Structure 1
């Protein structure tokens, strides 16, 4: 018997330690794993594609009938915010709404008389100014609590009270003078005005006055310079709105026009049939936005020579400048005076059975106060109301 071969023995031991492998089964298992992975990837891709498609379905044309075209409607305005500089420019040149534009959101007085928050003249905020019709040189201020005090004794042709009630501007002997209501000597502000057709109209900030010089113009109180109004604003009795954006004025035909404070021409206020044949000849005061104006209704038609009223004649109605309608105020008796303050609060003076009352309405027509007017001012004319 031959001796065992060491090399052969080692090879035999190595063969015994190696497990048999089936290459076919291994290849098949690997192919199955690859197939499952590709299927999973394909499913995910399909889900993603469906999601993208679903998110874009609203952009595809609908298969149903097209939506009906609106009969009429306002132009669509972009909701994208404007740059700051453009927004500031727009605010400075606020355009006038065309007459007849519907504003259903605007407050309107209640159809029935509501209960006031107060019936005491002592609760009246601000100051009321009256002129003495029998004495062209006396202006009286009614202070809170119903105490009248004389603030001007100089003769004047026409007068205007500043929005804060601290100063009065008046025309006397062809010159414009300004006086402090707290006292002191008046100062000449302009020497070339003589017309009483344009009462000095203060700007809301008290820095400028619309006056009648050679033609209506704006006087800068700081410099004394007068800038003529645009030639397209052909009228008189100019009044500023409380926010300074709008001018309301009377025309030669005894109507009213409204203009942006920087406009070159005005827009006529629509004429309506609810004025009982009386013409709207003169604006007296304007609310905060220019939507409403207190007016003096003329005694005749626009073509009548009797429609012109003196500048000191008080307002007896409130006119809607958008619709041209007279506002129906919940006030008993006859209105003998009506003025707005710059914030839009409305003071109405009325008389019934010889008794005079003052009614104060907030801008939303909430009745803040209704009280008996002091007898000491019964014979005076309502000029202004300031807060």
Structure 2
């Protein structure tokens, strides 16, 4: 008889205590437990969300807005970086900057369909000055009140109004005089002054005058000291920009040049006559705040009477372009104030109107001008 095998006996004993298991039922039961747990978690999250909605804690912080979705379509060019204003740079040709640098974008006039913010003369701030060429240079001031008044009756050959409108400098019999606006008393600040090449031009701070003595120079009104312009600044009818950094002046051949300050030449003749039908600018009348734009006379009167003709166009001093202004009628005057606001005078059907533009060419006011001013010339616009 064969002896019993201990290993077999132990396996037989183990088989007697093993309980059969159904693996499929076990797996199904586990899946059901996981599903019940996830359902419970989802229900709890929904309860929390409803509580937040009811309490108002879901709202964004004050002032915050959700970012808009990105627009579909091909990506466009990125926005240009801000341009830091600098003094005018020398140019190599009309409208072409040295080194190929292109002109920074600047505001341009809106279409002629733009509506003014106001049509009332009372909404024109500051003071408007007119010259009476038929009465030895009488000066008249207009304010928003609409009642023109004579502020200078002394005979003169040329006059300039200070940036704040409080003083008038004028030339009479070779002497440079300064008077308070509307005042009777005037004092002589310089002798031996001419006016044909240079009417008195006030500096933006109101402390100096650019005049024509033996040569053009800058006069300190308080001390009477005259400093000649730097060598190389050869021209006439010098005009300061509103910020005092730039001079625009006329050349002998009826062009314009631009200089940085009063120390160095930094420009080339403008406008580009290929863009002005061959017309030239013989005299700058007024310059904007930065020297980028200048009011000039381009009509036939510029060559015949360059010292008296008011401005009838705005020229871009960098490109030489004529700025297309949304003004109806014929432009018969244009002047900048020191801050770069532009006042345009137009004539249509025998009536004159005033158009006031901000530096970004927003049309602020379009108003009827008092009829008693129709025979005078627009001279200056001040604060």
Q: TM-score normalised by the shorter chain: which range applies? A: 0.7 to 0.9
Query: Is the contact made by 1:281 and 1:298 (CA closer than 8 Å) also made in structure 2?
Result: no
Deviations 1:230-289 (A, max 9, x none): 220110000000000000000011100000014332411352422122111110000000
Deviates more, 1:96-105 or 1:152-161: 96-105
Q: Deviations over 1:341-385 (max 9, x none)?
A: 000000000011111110000000000000111001111110000
Question: What residue is the counterpart of 2:9 in the other structure?
Answer: none
In 1, Cα distance between equivalents of 2:286 and 2:233? 18
1:291 pairs with 2:287: no
Q: Is the 8 A contact 2:283 2:306 kept in 1?
A: no
Shift of 1:111: 2.8
Q: Secondary structure at the match of 2:148?
A: strand
Q: Answer whether contact 2:160 2:200 (CA < 8 A) is retained.
A: yes
Q: Give 1:297 shift.
A: 1.2
Alignment of 1:352 with 2:351, yes or no, is no
Within the alignment, does 1:276 sit opposite 2:277 as a pair? yes
Q: CA deviation at 1:138?
A: 1.2
1:378 aligns with 2:379: no
Stretches of structure 1 lacking an aligned partner (at least 5 in a row): 1-89, 301-305
Kindly indicate whether the alpha-carbon contact (under 8 Å) linking 2:89 and 2:266 is maintained by their aligned counterparts in 1: no
Greater alpha carbon shift after TM alignment, 189-198 vs 363-372: 189-198
Cα distance in 1 for residues equivalent to 2:209 and 2:252: 22
1:96 and 2:99 are equivalent in the alignment: no
Normalization by structure 2: what TM-score? 0.73
- Residue 98 of structure 1: CA displacement? 3.7
Task: State the Cα distance separating 1:140 from its structure 2 match.
Answer: 0.2
Question: Counterpart of 2:211?
Answer: 211
Q: Secondary structure at the match of 1:254?
A: coil
2:132 counterpart of 1:140:
no
8 Å contact from structure 1 (residues 158, 312) kept in 2: no
Whole-angstrom CA distance in 1 between matches of 2:89 and 2:303: 28
Match of 1:123 in 2: 123
Q: Residues of 1 paired with 2:276 and 2:241: CA distance?
A: 23
Whether 1:174 and 2:178 are equivalent positions in the alignment is: no
**What residue is the counterpart of 1:316 in the other structure?**
312
1:299 Cα offset (Å): 2.6
Alpha-carbon distance in 2 for matches of 1:180, 1:113: 41
Q: Could you say what the CA RMSD is over the residues aligned between the two structures, in angstroms?
A: 2.3
Q: Distance in 2 between matches of 1:355 and 1:298?
A: 20
TM-score (norm 1): 0.72
Give the SS at the match of 1:147.
Answer: coil
Indicate the residue corresponding to 1:46 in structure 2. none
Cα deviation code 1:82-130 (max 9, x no counterpart): xxxxxxxx99xx5323443433420000133310000011111111000
SS of equivalent to 1:281 = coil
Report the equivalent of 1:162.
162
Distance 1:215 1:266 in 2: 20
**8 Å CA contact 1:158, 1:199 repeated in 2:** yes
Secondary structure (helix, strand or coil) at the match of 2:88 reads coil
Unpaired runs of at least 5, structure 2? 1-83
Secondary structure of the residue aligned to 2:274 is coil
Deviations 1:285-308 (A, max 9, x none): 0000000000011539xxxxx825
- Counterpart CA distance in 2 for 1:136 and 1:196 is 15
Matches within 5 A, 1:32-51: none
Matches within 5 A, 1:224-243: 224-243=224-243
Counterpart in the other structure of 1:150 = 150
Measure, in 1, the Cα distance between the counterparts of 2:304 and 2:252: 10
SS in structure 2 opposite 1:376? helix
Query: Paired residue for 2:253?
Result: 253
Taking the aligned partners of 1:270 and 1:377, their CA distance within structure 2 comes to: 31
Alignment size in residue pairs: 295
